[in-house]
Amino acid sequence: MNKAIVFDLDGTLVDSAPDLMDAHNYVMQKYGYHEKQVSDIRHLAGRGAANMILSSLREEDKKFDANMHKKMTEEFINFYRENISKKSQIIKGVTEFLKWGKSHNINLAICTNKMEYLAKKLLKEMNLIQFFDYIAGADTFEYRKPDPRHLTNILEILDVKKENSIMVGDSETDSETARSAKINFVLVKGGYTEKDQKHIYHDHLINDFTEMQEIISKMKFLN
């Protein structure tokens, strides 16, 4: 019987906020706006370059238009692409858990709102890409999280039933996706969100991936 665990990427498997923040500050400084600390917009790190830049622009006491926002977003992505893994760190226990998952013949996949080519590049440079059977980014399908089809399409491709799958993520976007798809959801603490964990729907909660095998056992996922 096929089993699958589908993961979000940013804030779930990899703490990519420092490299995203560097790209943000590079663009903001270039265009004459204020730089920020990682803590200031960490909650936006998983929502894409356009949202991160737009949020910061709206806080500035200066006028901007859609064309400027588009140019800044493009420069953000270009800078980030070339510096995608300089400061990013793998979340504690991730590599060990992925190895464990493969040893138990579990299909492992990525469901991220990062562009697919950037997701693959980050995973490759973090030496994680070899663990995954499928990687779906923001542009892989015609829809993306929180649309549940971003997740269910992956399961269809892997030929895994919903009841034999788990989604793991760090934010309300991941939670809403899993809930709408009626798939068990494991929430990773301390992710890219402003919401308290109490206000994010989840079936199970972990501090890091050293706790995942115990969760799998409690869920009787491999039975």
Sheet architecture: strand order including 4-7: 134-136, 107-111, 4-7, 165-169, 184-188, 204-206
Structure token pair of residue 195: 């919401």
Q: Any residues with CB less than 8 A from the CB of 203 and at least 6 apart, and which?
A: 184, 185, 186, 219
Q: What pLDDT, on the 0 to 100 scale, is given for residue 36? A: 86
Measured CA distances, 34 to 60, 61, 80, 98, 176 (Å):
8, 10, 18, 39, 33
110-169 pLDDT per residue, tens: 999 999 999 999 999 999 999 999 999 999 999 999 999 999 999 999 999 999 999 999
52-64 pLDDT per residue, tens: 899 889 888 777 8
Q: What pLDDT, on the 0 to 100 scale, is given for residue 28? A: 93
Q: How far apart are CA 123 and CA 72, in angstroms?
A: 25
3-state class of 190 per DSSP?
coil
Q: Which of 53-62, 86-95, 121-130, 184-193 shows the lowest per-residue confidence on average (mean pLDDT)?
A: 53-62
Q: How many CB atoms lie within 10 A of CB 200?
A: 20
Q: Which of 28-42, 59-73, 209-223 has the highest mean pLDDT?
A: 209-223
The pLDDT confidence band at residue 177, using thresholds 50, 70 and 90, is very high
5-49 pLDDT per residue, tens: 999 999 999 999 999 999 999 999 999 998 888 888 788 777 778
Q: What pLDDT, on the 0 to 100 scale, is given for residue 122? A: 98
Catalytic residues: 8
Rounded to an integer, the average pLDDT of 193-215 is 94
Q: What pLDDT, on the 0 to 100 scale, is given for residue 84? A: 98
Q: What pLDDT, on the 0 to 100 scale, is given for residue 108? A: 98
CA 95-100-106 angle, to 5 degrees, is 110
Rounded to an integer, the average pLDDT of 198-213 is 96
Q: How far apart are CA 45 and CA 144, in angstroms?
A: 16
> Residue 144 phi/psi, 5° resolution?
-145, 170
Residue 85 near residue 123, CB atoms below 8 Å? no
